[in-house]
Structure 1
């Protein structure tokens, strides 16, 4: 078997290429003949003759230690071969060895023992049925008492949506609107629709004939008593005497919560009902916009001009005072309320100290019954604190947002710390909706501020207020005006007598 690579008794074959590579890596720089001789001596012994045919000589090494020279021609010489190049002999592919077979039959494993079946358990005992208990005794029926005529119930009125025999009964005659013109008896209610055919229509009592007046059908009026009475009651509250002039302060330290809009619309609502004696003052220290959004700017005078001439104005009385003060005020387009515009220059805010603010408020109390003040955002300024101390009613304005509600809640805590807790507890929370629809957070804010303030009112979104231009009260939707009527009534209700 010497020289054989398979070990299966076949003739010896030349050593494959991998043996030559292994010898080169094993013997390093020694020649192939010496390496072959040494390997042959190791396999056969020192006295054995050298092999007949040595392995073919390979090319020179690359110079790297432990590396084998590349086999085959270099890749960068496509058009020639190096001198002395000797092609390697083609080796035969090693034949596929047959699968090795093991002698002897496969082992026999013992069969698992057969376990006996589980014993059959006895069935549960059958319990006797419960005894039949005697039924309750039947009591004699109560005697039928005669029903007096005044005790008889009226016949139920049929509903227009009552289902009967797979169809609807005919609808009751429509009620005549309160705004329908009778035209001297020419108006007749429309005939009811023809009912669908029914196999066995039940007998129904005929509807009572409408009352007649002078030979013509009577006029049936329908009025939404709850809505109209609510609005009439709110308007009646605004018409009452307030005892003394009242100051309403609209406040929230956060900007963009509709303080200016609420101040203008509150003054416009109260002024539209009372007709006179209502004023809106822009007391924002950082260039408020109330003067731009309300009133017709027939002049450019602001609070700065009024303070400059305050000494000459305070000494006037009666109609003379009204006449000279009118030169410093702007008026709404319908004349329902007046406007005292704020100063555009922020440097003027330093001149509005607590003594000056008190003098202006005392002057306005002499000429107006309701004064709506749009406060600023700096709760530490003497101006803001003076208005809070002089206010009869605090109106907390907010929008259905968490940051706006948090700022309003913090302001209420601050008023309690400063000794104005009664003003905070009797405040009215005004929630203005900046978008159509009802936001999910709105219900949570209503419940929260209902525990902190006297009342909570909600005013809806109105597209006329979205542009931020001049506010015209008559251009608002009817729903918006009704909501503001209720809100203004809630603000002045504690003072109305």
Structure 2
């Protein structure tokens, strides 16, 4: 068995009560000791601060403090306190500090440590809601990608219900670049981006108004890193396919917003394709066009697009999405029991459209037995499992996963991404259970917070989205690109 070195991730802890009063402590032990000294009628309930909720390095949850120890709680009540973390640092098994880190650069530091030492590095923590990480040396990644995992964890006495792994921040598998020149250019661009002064937040405001050159903060650095991932070069056309056999599981929303993020951050030719076996609603959520043509109309003329010279005629079949800078191909608009576009037709259309679009995000229907559904999964470079944090949607998501594994797509699924969308009233416990159940099944998990502007099922307006929603979809899009 390969040697594993264990390191510990610690941080300073700030306790925030219901009035907004903040008390900072040097460690988790000091924080719980302070709370133990406060008078309480019952054991206080703690939760992870909202500022950490959308970061993949954290796993939201609730904990009860009893007899000086934290233990998992259901989280159904309003917390008495929230936990905020800052000043993260890594220490060795003896408690000797090794390095200060941020949640943004933790995976880079851990991977470098593993590669240089030649054996696995496990970074554990006792901080509630902070994930632990394991990294293998880069030379072993291609041989054993299944060893990459991230584990939900909490304070030392937490029960096994919180221990199963969730792969939200798994280290990225390294592959040789398709072009050495492109790799070097990307490196130069990344260095230039890292050195560029802040242009958002209070640092950006001071730089703009006073002519300063303050460095970007952690949040802006993270956004820049995600943008760089989304903008990375690809050797050719790539397709992501969004699946869940449950209707209303946010498949169409995910398809639209992944495409919009690609269009706004990456640019180029991006297609969102509604491949519902009957009638999908991607066209209803998109900006309208001067025509009402659908995939069925395009299929009737697909022979006109077997060569690139007719690219200008595609505008008569797709629907441009303005500042989102991508096109929508709507599904046929007549529901029925008979499949209109079968597997052969889908493959013909995909072969033709890949000449015109560098990236395609394909929305699917609700029948894993439909040949067109299976054909889409077969051509997918990355699978995206859309899950709403509701009992029925979650159950059907795992039924979808079982169907994919039974059809021989377990390896493709392991390179996939799960997007969990929070409804208006979301169960914290079920969210944790969904994340834990996805362990070892997909490569990355991203949680999208509730956004009321997406509730009515109408046209999706990017500018109306909450900033946290845009940030979550930037993370999700970067995760999809990492698999390509």
TM-score bracket for this pair, using the shorter chain length: 0.5 to 0.7
Partner of 2:438: 449
> Is the 8 Å Cα contact of residues 177 and 220 (structure 1) preserved in structure 2?
no
- Which secondary structure does the structure 2 equivalent of 1:440 belong to? helix
- Displacement, 1:401? 2.1
Distance 1:398 1:307 in 2: 30
- Whether 2:222 is the aligned partner of 1:230: answer yes
Distance 1:395 1:182 in 2: 39
2:256 corresponds to which of 264, 269, 294: 264
User: Which structure has greater strand proportion?
Assistant: 2
Distance 1:406 1:426 in 2: 21
Q: Deviations over 1:409-454 (max 9, x none)?
A: 1222222221222112221111001216663311111121133211
Partner of 1:66: none
Distance 1:286 1:326 in 2: 23
- Displacement, 1:402? 2.6
Tell me the TM-score normalized by structure 1. Answer: 0.54
- Whether 2:333 is the aligned partner of 1:308: answer no
- Displacement, 1:351? 3.3
Partner of 1:298: 290
> Is the 8 Å Cα contact of residues 295 and 332 (structure 2) preserved in structure 1?
yes
- Displacement, 1:264? 0.4
- Displacement, 1:182? 9.3
Partner of 1:144: none
- 1:310-389 correspondence to structure 2 within 5 Å: 310-314=302-306, 316-317=307-308, 320-334=309-323, 336-347=325-336, 350-389=339-378
Partner of 1:148: none
Tell me the TM-score normalized by structure 2. Answer: 0.56
- 1:248-259 correspondence to structure 2 within 5 Å: 248-259=240-251
Aligned length: 288
- Displacement, 1:286? 2.8
Distance 2:406 2:365 in 1: 20
> Is the 8 Å Cα contact of residues 177 and 221 (structure 1) preserved in structure 2?
no
Distance 1:325 1:182 in 2: 45
- Which secondary structure does the structure 2 equivalent of 1:263 belong to? helix
Unaligned runs of 5+ in 2: 1-22, 26-200
Distance 2:291 2:478 in 1: 32
2:400 corresponds to which of 384, 405, 411: 411
Distance 2:432 2:470 in 1: 22
- Displacement, 1:461? 1.1
Q: Deviations over 1:366-388 (max 9, x none)?
A: 11111011101111111111111
Structure number with larger C-alpha Rg: 1
Distance 1:182 1:238 in 2: 26
> Is the 8 Å Cα contact of residues 436 and 460 (structure 1) preserved in structure 2?
no
Distance 2:477 2:297 in 1: 30
Distance 1:437 1:224 in 2: 31
Shift of the 380–437 alpha-carbon distance from structure 1 to 2, 3 Å rule, reads: closer
Deviates further, 343-352 or 276-285: 343-352
Shift of the 179–372 alpha-carbon distance from structure 1 to 2, 3 Å rule, reads: closer
> Is the 8 Å Cα contact of residues 206 and 212 (structure 2) preserved in structure 1?
no
Distance 1:182 1:411 in 2: 50
Distance 1:381 1:283 in 2: 11
Distance 2:376 2:261 in 1: 22
Unaligned runs of 5+ in 1: 1-159, 163-175, 186-217
Shift of the 354–183 alpha-carbon distance from structure 1 to 2, 3 Å rule, reads: closer
Q: Give the RMSD, CA atoms, in angstroms.
A: 2.7
- Which secondary structure does the structure 2 equivalent of 1:266 belong to? helix
Distance 2:213 2:339 in 1: 66
Distance 1:285 1:351 in 2: 7
- Displacement, 1:353? 1.6
- Which secondary structure does the structure 2 equivalent of 1:379 belong to? coil
Distance 1:390 1:180 in 2: 46
- 1:477-492 correspondence to structure 2 within 5 Å: 477-492=466-481
- Displacement, 1:277? 0.9
Distance 2:295 2:327 in 1: 13
Distance 1:326 1:348 in 2: 30
- Whether 2:429 is the aligned partner of 1:440: answer yes
Shift of the 431–355 alpha-carbon distance from structure 1 to 2, 3 Å rule, reads: same
